[in-house]
A and B are shown apart, each in its own frame.
Chain A
Amino acid sequence: MKKLLVALFLSTAAFANPQVTTVSPASATTSGGAEITITGAGFTADAQVQFGSTPATETHFVNATTLVAVTPAHLPGVSHVEVRQADGNAFHTFAFVGPIPSTFERVLLPTFTGPVNGAFGSVFETELRAKNGGGDPVHLYGLALDCRVTCIGGSIDYPPVLTNDSDIKPHDVLYTGTPAQFLMVPKSEVDRLSANLRVFDTTRTDANFGTEIPIVRQRDFFDQRDSITLLGVPTDPQFRNTLRVYSYDVASQVVITLEGHEPWIVPMQGARNIFEPAYAVFTDFPTGVDVVDVNVSLFQPNISADIRQPFWAFVTVTNNETQLISTISPQP
């Protein structure tokens, strides 16, 4: 009997999965570098620690009940500590708090919604395509893929990953922008990302291929102390103009100036999560015959002038009859 019990114990031990009971501390700053202690049972020397899909900077096996790990830089929010070893894995919640780490770069998709009904029966759809330009994988935090089989993305833990052999095609994507979307891409990977964003009228595909919408990297945003001037905006009533302004972190007021007119002040709608830009839209352009230059700046009276809030803006010019869209964006 004793031999049987020993055999049963040994067989159980041989198949014992790790278990995590506590993680201390239960949170760390987004900048990484914090040492945390993971207690539980069944840890083995080959144990590795991950935070979502991001490996810990260091993992140290202390004994079967204790691991010590160093946190990596990570996006803020509720994540999961995962202990991975040959005989299984275990999870525990963990929180990252603080600003977006400097190891990530925002990539703005200015229009990223599902189909939108427009005038004259038009239906505007957005298409995103993306490819890895070659080399190591590219992680696209903030992109949600269509859940036909396995739901991927939308969280800070398990983003869609572009490998050398994979593409993202338009029908793979859930267009969840409101109306825009930030992707967060590790700075070491963003140069490998090739992407294209297009808006087109599904009812007029025989007449045109739509309009390319610029995808904007964080480095190309404008400093709050600068202004953006968008040149050559038509006032002809054949066209309707929509100015879209994007920022992050803190919502400001947008000041829009056209020569010969009093400035307009438009409040920005604040971002509800890290993947959503602060956003403002303006359509109250004067009509006439001239072409005007539109100056856009941010105003935030209660914030220190030392705080620089980057922003970006562009205008879409839509023909009221044909629904053809032209863009006017800040260049170079």
Chain B
Amino acid sequence: MRRTVLLAALSLLFSFSLFAQSEQFKISPALGPSSGGTTVTITGPFGSWPYDVVFGEDFSASVRRVDENTVVAVTPPHAAGIVNIRLFEYDVFISTTLTFEYIGHPEREQFLLPVFTEPVQGAHGSEFRTELRGMNMDRSGPVLDVLDVWGLEIACRYTPPVCNWLEEPMVFLEPTATAADLIDYNVFQTGTPGRFIEVPRGRADDLSVSLRVYDTSRSSENYGTEIPIVRTTDFHRGSFALLGVPTDPRFRNTLRLYATGPTTVHLLVGNDAHEIQLRAGEHHFDPAYAQFTTFPTGAGTIRVLAAGEENGPAVWGFITVTNNETQHITTITPR
């Protein structure tokens, strides 16, 4: 009975996926970049007065009333973090339990490298390496610009060391005339295991990157597995699903969860409920992180539903499915 109640409660939590909501109002999306400019739709019992929307202490950049139940607003810039949303009706503020998360640096665009570690020894003599490649694809304008990349630590070449990689960009990708590859830098792959990287706002389209994990002991058998690189504005403030996870004991599954801040994630793994604590990152390029490996075994596949705290930080996660004998890795990502 208790398990039934818990599952019912979790199902209710998971049904509030795309819209963060209070008793009356809903907002979608509930996150966006710190630079502002995100168009959000707020639905609820609006009256006939004109409304404004206040994000933290800042009024919306623009507001448009669609109908008596819908208002569309554009977020103003704001420092990273979660802010309360109030409505301003004529001459009075109306509190809601809605929140909006501003993500990343106001002047930069942020991405997650989910796996960014030094080589890892695995079973059956395997050694998993992560390879990051990157290029500056800037072809626009009369002058081609170098692309600064924050979040990557490199060997300091100066004495005394002047590398302050937590504050300054350490990688400068020249515009592509030759392959100015990230591999040319001696980047320390010290993700725990993920890493946030950032480029100047408006330059994300100039960045082309690839992330690959491969077993050096089996490189003659397969070319490894592509790992998705994720915009943090594509994280979820609500639930997301990972479908078709095998339970065959020939495979081991690892669910890796990342968040923009410490939080608790509720999991429904098949019919089993779990709560996972994501510990805070060590610095602002280090995502809050946890992993989960206690999957049921059997036959067939299951689905995993993951939900962050209501009004908590945005979350993303994916599963690696590894064959216990061949060590081949398949990903399952939320799409």
Contacts and interface: CB of A to CB of B under 8 A. Distances in A.
> Is this pair of chains taken from one and the same complex?
yes
Interface of A: 127, 129-131, 133-135, 164, 167, 170, 191-192, 194-198, 206-212, 214-215, 226-232, 234, 238-239, 259, 293, 317, 319, 321-322, 324, 326-332
B223 A239 contact: yes
A232 B227 CA distance: 13
B15 A164 contact: yes
Contacts of B208: 228-229, 231, 330-331
Contacts of A209: 246, 251, 321, 323, 328, 330
11 contacts: A131-B241, A134-B14, A135-B18, A135-B19, A194-B335, A207-B325, A209-B330, A212-B333, A231-B181, A234-B223, A293-B133
Nearest to B197: A332
A194 B209 contact: no
Contacts of B325: 207
Contact of B15 (A135, A206, A215, A332): A135
Interface string B74-111: 00000000000000000000000000000000000001
A329 B226 contact: yes
A168 to B, nearest CB: 9
Interface string B207-233: 111111000000011111110111100
Nearest to A291: B133
- Size bin of chain B's contact surface: 35 or more
A231 B135 contact: yes
Contact of B224 (A135, A208, A259, A326): A326
A191 B251 CA distance: 30
A209 to B, nearest CB: 4
A203 to B, nearest CB: 14
A196 B222 contact: no
B330 A212 contact: yes
B210 A232 contact: yes
Contacts of B135: 229, 231, 293
B131 A134 contact: no
Nearest to B109: A332
A-B residue pairs, 6 tightest by C-beta: A324-B222, A134-B17, A208-B328, A326-B223, A129-B243, A209-B330
A155 B241 CA distance: 28
B228 A133 contact: no
Nearest to A238: B220
A197 B239 CA distance: 20
Contact of B243 (A131, A135, A210, A229): A131
A212 B332 contact: yes
A194 B323 contact: no
A133 B244 contact: no
B112 to A, nearest CB: 9
Given A198-B244, A207-B326, A232-B133, A332 B230 contact: yes
A210 B15 contact: no
B228 A196 contact: no
Contact of B226 (A227, A228, A326): A326
B331 interface: yes
Contacts of B224: 326
A197 B222 CA distance: 20
A191 B209 contact: no
B16 interface: yes
B22 to A, nearest CB: 16
A231 to B, nearest CB: 4
Nearest to B325: A207
A327 B333 CA distance: 14
B204, B221, B238 interface centre (most CB from chain A within 10 Å): B221
Contacts of B19: 135
Contacts of B176: 229
B303 interface: yes
B225 A229 contact: no
B330 A133 contact: no
B210 A196 contact: no
Contacts of B332: 196, 212
Nearest to B134: A231
Given A135-B15, A209-B246, A229-B135, A196 B335 contact: yes
Nearest to B221: A322
B18 A192 contact: yes
